[in-house]
Amino acid sequence: MTPDEVLSAVVRDEWGRLVALLLGRFRRLDLVEDALADATEAAARRWPGDGVPDDPAAWLHVAARRRVLDRLRAEAMAGRKQPLLVDEAERTTGGGAMADPGGLVEDDRLRLVLLCCHPALAPEVAAALALRLVVGVTTADIARLFLVPEPTMAARITRGKKKIVAAGIPYGVPGADALPDRLATVAQVAYLAFTAGYAPGSGPDLLRADLAGEAVRLVRVTLALRPDEPVLRALLALVLLQHSRRDARVGPDGSLVLLPDQDRSRWHHDEVHEALAVLDGMPPAADPLVESYRLQALIGAAHATAPTAGDTRWDVVCDAYDALARVNPSPAVRLAAAVAVAERDGPEAGLRALDGLDAELPTSHRVPAVRGELLARIGRDAEAVVALDVAIDRCGNDVERAHLAARRDGLTAG
Amino acid sequence: MKRYVVLIAYRPGEWEQASAEERREYFDAHHAFERYVDEHGRRLSSGALCDADTATTVHPGRSDERVVTDGPFVELAEQVGGYYDVELPDLDAAIAAARLMPAAYTVEIRPVMVIEGYESV
């Protein structure tokens, strides 16, 4: 490996641990990230000439620690006193006993995850903080993931760090009674970051699936700290199944390839197998969030295990959607369910299942897009063209719109 | 320990309309909050405020003149009806305490800032 590759690997694998170690020691959220970023820059400059150190993570840790100490010395000289993170030592009378003592380092990383994903932080702030501090994604990449300019994202991260310190969000693990709720918040934050990678942008950058992979890493890191937590297991299965299709979703010309047309040999089958292993033996959950992740993962699994689109077990998919609609009765779920019903019972049944959705999703391009597709399948081409025109008009994404236009043009040409 | 001001918002008139039993529930919830704070930190001060229609506001005027008007500085459906000034270990403790308040309340937790170089007279 070249020095650059070693550095990227150590940043990817060790960033969260290093942030956690430095925070545990100095409790200065404002200094730790900058110091570590400086240390990384120094490594990029020096390792190619000096050679890669025997323990690259330890090198970064020492370099970052030195920078924090320099800053603290400068502050002491200037007589300034900065606020510190509230940590466990001060909380001996607070929020109850620790869930379990565990290893020191793992515990620090769990504290870091919980700190970033605190319910007092807005979800998009929490997601940015967690990607930056726990998995070491650069601010530029987080900005690209969330489709905002980099200075906006930098300001969002700074604001989040300020809120944590000012509001006194603790750097600690809550009692066993409160921990499941906090881990559910972590799961929601990670899933928000994951779906951001698949939310079509308004420009040509249709998928930022490589960045969605960073959210998968956030789930993995957290699950490694709490391996039996159902919400994290169900979420890992779900994101792995969705993410396994990333390469097949985009055609050679950058166009969107829909599920039935995807080259299934390009799916990441190792990820599918891992997800199926996680799902296997996961019983239905009473908790609506866990159950909603589990059911969506089951739907993903039905697609992932069908050798061809024609082999899809639509009965299984429809049953899972019915259950999902009971747990989470949202118009988006009903729309997806209508598509599955059309596959199981035919286009007319699908069209009937769309009834009422226009009122609930009045600006969505997906309802008319699905209606247009189903009408076309039963030869009602004129009506299909009208529906597709509405969809094209509403669609904000270039690649998706091109796909809809091609479908409509195929109907008018025939 | 961190210092927080806990602001209580409620719909005007709710207290006046409350039955004797409902008022007892309000008292019990406040007692639970106060006990929690006393166990985990301490109370510095607190107060229930008269309705916002009794408020008087002093605004910065056009020049140096200040303008006095009738009413609160913002008119909202919910009004600040009371506050607690407390010390607690962290935000989680403040949230846990706020959860004990009467269910009809909207509760805002504001950390109190230390302004370096400022000393109160």
- Distance, CA of B10 to CA of B82 (rounded, Å): 9
Instruction: Give residue A354's Cα distance to chain centre.
Output: 29
B52, part of any domain: yes
DSSP line for B23-82? HHHHHHHHHHHHHHHHHHSEEEEEEEPPPGGG-EEEEE-SSS-EEEEES-SS--SSEEEE
Q: How confident is the model at residue A95 (pLDDT cuts 50, 70, 90)?
A: very low
**Spatial contact of A141 and A214, defined as CB atoms under 8 Å apart:** yes
Domain segments of chain A: what residues?
Answer: 1-82, 107-199, 330-413
List alpha helices for A378-397, DSSP H: 381-394
Instruction: Name the token pair of A188.
Output: 């929601």
3-state secondary structure of B108: strand
- Rounded to two decimals, the ipTM of the complex is 0.88
- pTM, two decimals, is 0.88
B94 to chain A: which residues are within 8 Å by CB?
A: 168
Closest Cα of chain B to A352: distance in Å? 43
CB pair distance less than 8 Å for B90 and A170: yes
CB pair distance less than 8 Å for A169 and B90: yes
Q: Please report the number of interchain residue pairs, chain A to chain B, with beta-carbon separation below 8 angstroms.
A: 54
B116, part of any domain: no
CB pair distance less than 8 Å for B91 and A94: no
Nearest to A169 among B41, B91, B116 (CB): B91
Q: How confident is the model at residue A92 (pLDDT cuts 50, 70, 90)?
A: very low
Q: How confident is the model at residue A81 (pLDDT cuts 50, 70, 90)?
A: confident
A118 to chain B: which residues are within 8 Å by CB?
A: 91
pLDDT digits (tens, 9 = 90+) for A369-402: 999 999 999 999 999 999 999 999 999 878 788 8
Q: Is the pLDDT of residue A97 over 70?
A: no
Question: Quick one: CATH architecture of A330-413?
Answer: Alpha Horseshoe (1.25)
Q: How confident is the model at residue B41 (pLDDT cuts 50, 70, 90)?
A: very high
**Mutate which of B3, B5, B38, B90 to test chain A, going by most A C-beta atoms within 10 A?**
B90
**Across A307-313, average pLDDT:** 94
pLDDT of residue A199: 73
Q: Is the pLDDT of residue A101 over 70?
A: no
**Spatial contact of A222 and A113, defined as CB atoms under 8 Å apart:** yes
pLDDT digits (tens, 9 = 90+) for B93-115: 999 999 999 998 999 999 999 88
Instruction: Identify the domain containing residue B92 by its residue range.
Output: 2-111
List alpha helices for A119-229, DSSP H: 123-133, 139-145, 150-167, 179-198, 209-225
- Distance, CA of A245 to CA of A306 (rounded, Å): 13
pLDDT digits (tens, 9 = 90+) for A12-24: 999 999 999 999 8
- β-partners of residue B10 are B79
In chain B, the number of structural domains is 1
**Spatial contact of A256 and A206, defined as CB atoms under 8 Å apart:** yes
B30, part of any domain: yes
**Which candidate, B112, B89, B93, places its Cα nearest to that of A90?**
B89
3-state secondary structure of B2: strand
A86 to chain B: which residues are within 8 Å by CB?
A: 2, 89-91
B121, part of any domain: no
B119, part of any domain: no
Is A95 at the interface with chain B, CB within 8 A? yes
Q: Which residue has the higher pLDDT, A205 or A308?
A: A308
**Which candidate, A25, A64, A57, places its Cα nearest to that of A41?**
A64
**Which candidate, B48, B56, B44, places its Cα nearest to that of B23?**
B48
A90 to chain B: which residues are within 8 Å by CB?
A: 1, 89-90
Q: Which amino acid is at A168?
A: G
CB pair distance less than 8 Å for A95 and B92: yes
3-state secondary structure of B6: strand
**Mutate which of B36, B91, B118 to test chain A, going by most A C-beta atoms within 10 A?**
B91
Nearest to A167 among B1, B91, B114 (CB): B91
Q: Is the pLDDT of residue A99 over 60?
A: no
- Distance, CA of A371 to CA of A249 (rounded, Å): 22
**Across A60-69, average pLDDT:** 96
Q: What is the mean pLDDT of chain B?
A: 91
pLDDT of residue B97: 97
pLDDT digits (tens, 9 = 90+) for A198-222: 876 655 555 578 889 999 999 999 9
B96 to chain A: which residues are within 8 Å by CB?
A: 95
pLDDT more than 70, % of chain B: 100
Is A86 at the interface with chain B, CB within 8 A? yes
**Across A125-129, average pLDDT:** 97
Is A38 at the interface with chain B, CB within 8 A? no
Domain with B11 in it: what CATH number?
A: 3.30.70.1060
